[in-house]
Amino acid sequence: MKWMLFIFLWVLFVVIVVQLNEKRKVLESQKTETMKKQNIQNTYGVPTDKIQTSKYFKGLKDIPENSTINVWIKDNMLNLMRDGETTISHQIQLENINFYTIKGDVKQELETKGGNQSVAGTMITEGLFGTAAAMKKNQPTQNLKTIDERKTIINATIDGKDTFIFFEGADLYNYLLENIPEKEQSFIAIQK
């Protein structure tokens, strides 16, 4: 009986340590993100709440694909700076932005995990924690998983060429919609 209590306490200890470690990582990540935005604020005079961090997909030669990019608008310029760098990677005059839009879908999938526990596993669980625990552990769990396949697309004239710049997700689209709604593709189509 003592060994069951010891195992229970050990499992409880491990679960608590893992959860505390995950929370610590999240807090460190948030702190790092805040510090990066504060550095941009100090260097370029941009309020941290006006900086959008987005995942760059493709479109510009001087920015590697799948880079994390900090984006902000200041002095009629759309500024793009790779995360972790101190100089602006690219600037686009707002008048050279032809339009921006969003394409793609958000999908949801039902993900099933668990169930189908082996007979030996069920017997051990039942022996340690009782029949109800064994039955509960053997039931499958279902999670609704959201898959965001949307891309924010900016069309701009850069060096005299019509250029399409792609970013993952809708965060940048929402940021642009707040700051330059007149450049959104459906708004431009209505104006013509």
pLDDT digits (tens, 9 = 90+) for 145-172: 888 899 999 999 999 999 999 999 999 9
Residues forming beta bridges with residue 93, ordered by sequence position: 77
As a whole-number percent, the residues of the chain with pLDDT over 70 amount to 82
Edge-first strand order for the sheet with 77-82 is: 90-93, 77-82, 68-74, 52-58, 161-168, 151-158, 97-103
Q: Residue ranges of the domains in the chain?
A: 1-45, 51-105+149-192, 108-146
Report the topology of domain 51-105+149-192.
Answer: PH-domain like (2.30.29)
Cα angle 163, 181, 83; round to 5: 55
Compute the distance between CA of residue 85 and CA of residue 107 in angstroms, rounded to an integer.
Answer: 34
pLDDT digits (tens, 9 = 90+) for 29-58: 777 777 777 777 777 787 778 889 899 999
Average pLDDT of the chain to the nearest whole number: 81
Compute the distance between CA of residue 126 and CA of residue 91 in angstroms, rounded to an integer.
Answer: 64
Look at residue 154 in the predicted model and tell me its pLDDT.
95
Compute the distance between CA of residue 88 and CA of residue 37 in angstroms, rounded to an integer.
Answer: 13
